[in-house]
Amino acid sequence: MALAITKDNFEKEVLHSEIPVLVDFWASWCGPCKMVGPMVEELADELSGKVKVGKLNVDEQGELAMKYGVMSIPMFAIFKDGEITAKAVGAMSKEALMRELNL
């Protein structure tokens, strides 16, 4: 199951994670976000132990969304050692997302 990412746990769960973190920047009103939601949950299960998967609601966590330049959602970002190493924007298949993010 994907982890809910908030400003309260972002530093610990994302920036200081010992494994890469896939963050799904999303919103409840976003149709494409809803469409890829089940795929994000599948990835959380499939990548467990190798990649941490989290979901960050841009409406509730606007400060973090602005800090990381989220202009369109869904936006997916891979964080390694506190830095974004890969990004993908828009609804896509699981295979395309994994290819985009080099997973």
- Choose, from 5, 30, 78, 92, the residue flagged as catalytic: 30
Is the CB of residue 2 less than 8 Å from the CB of residue 46?
no
Contacts 24+ apart (CB under 8 A), 66-71: 68/25, 70/25
By the 10 Å C-beta count (0-12 exposed, 13-18 middle, 19+ buried), 72 is classed as exposed
Give the active site residue among 5, 21, 23, 33: 33
Active site residue 30: yes
33 is an active site residue = yes
CB distance 52 to 22 below 8 Å: yes
Q: Which sequence positions are flagged as catalytic?
A: 30, 33
